[in-house]
A and B are shown apart, each in its own frame.
Chain A
Amino acid sequence: MTDTLKITARDVNVYYGAKQAIENVSIDIATEHVTSFIGPSGCGKSTFLRALNRMNDTIPGCRVTGEIKLDGEDIYVGDMDVVQLRARVGMVFQKPNPFPKSIYENVAYGPRIHGLAATKPDMDAIVEKSLRRAGLWDEAKDRLAEPGTALSGGQQQRLCIARAIAVSPEVILMDEPCSALDPIATAKIEELIDELKGRYAIVIVTHSMQQAARVSQKTAFFHLGKVVEYGDTSTIFTNPREERTKDYITGRYG
């Protein structure tokens, strides 16, 4: 199998002021896989995830060194436009955060600001396609004018996925997307991640090791700001190289 490397990170350090949150992390992310980041709370996995689409830029005092390349292009170098970067690298957050607008508007907002639809029918098509891919179309098609916030938590999270998909990203980052959801809604999101795999490079941060094992093909185990082990999910979970990984996986700490 030939993997198309979407993101290559080399020796990445992230600092919050004087405090170093990420130390020398090097990871390759391929479109063919779902990559999961696991590790105990505060290990830096979310920080690293947010470095991949420069959402850390909004945090005062946050500094990133090293090299993160998207399709071979360094995203922290001058001529990379952060607005375009975030259109190419979409994000789904821990807590569903739909805009307090209609379901339609939630999905249409991204394409509108990027000028992806010239006419109303074009936009309708994008909205429908995105909602279909997010598995929300059947539930939402008759209530597109209703506020997105009126949906249930799981539906809201799928709406947020549809919103991310709508701008045709190449990568989707998910920061613990199921931690606020019940098991049934979680199962739906996991199914969805499986369907989206291959079309988008997906990176998911999760606290649930079962979830990482279920949805991902590659897993990185973060501990104290470093990547302890990165490899095939099956290897990490059945035959980890490092003692610390094994201890975490078997629930000895975390």
Chain B
Amino acid sequence: MSNWHTPDANARLKRRYGAERRFKAVGLIAILLSLGFLAFLLVTMVANGVSGINWSFLSNSDSTDAATAGVWGSLKGSLLTMGVTLALSFPMGVCAAIYLEEFAPRQRWVDWVEVSINNLAAVPSVIFGLLGLAMFINVAGMPRSSALVGGVTLALMTMPVIVIAGRNAIKAVPPSIRDAALAVGASRVQTVFHHVLPLALPGILTGTIIGMARALGETAPLLMIGMRAFIATPASGVTDPTSVLPMQIFLWSDEVDQAFVRNTSAAIIVLLVFLLAMNGLAIYLRNKFETRW
């Protein structure tokens, strides 16, 4: 018989199982710790703010009186800003990703473009705010504190995220699909738009929504372009001065009046619901369009 039942072998086996148990415990603790903080945040916010959420809070705009102040103005501002951001960053990001993955010649300058885009995604957001102030307000003359200038600035931040996610998604499409399309006489553009892009779309959409969710919560760059004003009437278009949700939270948290504590928490709940909805949408889209091989 073999030596699988010696005390030595049994001890080795025991050590291996022990290591497995310890690793599982460490993993579990890591998860519990991070989820614990999230739960703490949620519980605190809900406890403080849920009583503040009612119809008038959702339909009113900012006010100096905590009892009548609401989030509608800033919620609408956030929606308008996100609309501008999406309209700019999605087509630009997807086109850039397609070009870099499928068409760009393997040359030195393409490497430079790649490095620049990766760096762009890592630039601190406050710097994008300064760029927005200098470029879009001072040079291009866009209206200060408007959803337009906010959206354009955030689009600069979101685009690299979409480019990176898009390139990964495009890279993940098997080359055999490109061969198949080319071999029946599809042009390169047809190959990309008929076959590669549809297969990469779930990944691109997921990346886009994650980038958008980040932009939605962004405050620092918007401070730079004057979006911290007190605005009591909701914007009627992208050129009107407006506030956005995270900025409203920032402004209310600064108020001396204790009654604004509840408003702050309530606005955070609204923002979190918004973010969770976007993440939910990302998961839904991924599952809906994902190709099963």
- Which A residues contact B (CB, under 8 angstroms)? 53, 55, 58, 60, 83-87, 90-91, 93, 95, 97-100, 109-110, 113-114, 149, 160, 163-164, 166-167
Interface size of B in residues (CB-CB distance below 8 Å): 22
Does B288 sit at the interface, judged by CB under 8 A?
no
Q: Please determine whether B190 and A113 come into contact, CB atoms closer than 8 angstroms.
A: yes
B177 contacts partner chain A, Cβ-Cβ < 8 Å = yes
Q: A residues within 8 A CB of B291?
A: 100
- State which of B106, B179, B186 has its C-beta within 8 Å of the C-beta of A97: B179
For the complex, give the distance between the alpha carbons of A95 and B180 in Å: 11
B185 touches A97 (CB 8 A): no
Highest count of chain B CB atoms <10 Å: which of A55, A83, A114: A83
B183 touches A55 (CB 8 A): yes
- B195, A99: Cβ atoms under 8 Å? yes
Q: How many A-B residue pairs have CB under 8 A?
A: 67
Q: Which residues of B contact A (CB under 8 A)?
A: 105-106, 174, 176-187, 190, 194-195, 199, 291-293
**A99 B185 Cβ-Cβ under 8 A:** no
Contact of A60 with B176 at beta-carbon distance under 8 Å, contacts A83-B187, A113-B186 already known: no
A60 → B minimal CB distance (Å): 5
Additional A-B contacts beyond A85-B185, A87-B185 (6; CB < 8 A):
A86-B183, A86-B184, A91-B183, A97-B174, A109-B194, A149-B292
Chain A's closest residue to B174 (CB) is: A97
Q: Which 3 A-B pairs have the closest CB atoms?
A: A87-B185, A110-B184, A97-B176
- In the complex with contacts A99-B195, A100-B199, A113-B190, A58-B182 CB distance below 8 A: yes
Q: In the complex, are the beta carbons of B179 and A167 less than 8 A apart?
A: no
A-B contact pairs, 16 of them (CB 8 A): A58-B179, A83-B187, A86-B182, A90-B184, A93-B176, A99-B180, A99-B195, A100-B177, A100-B199, A100-B293, A109-B186, A110-B186, A113-B190, A164-B184, A166-B184, A167-B184
* B183 proximity list for chain A (CB < 8 A): 53, 55, 86, 90-91, 93, 164
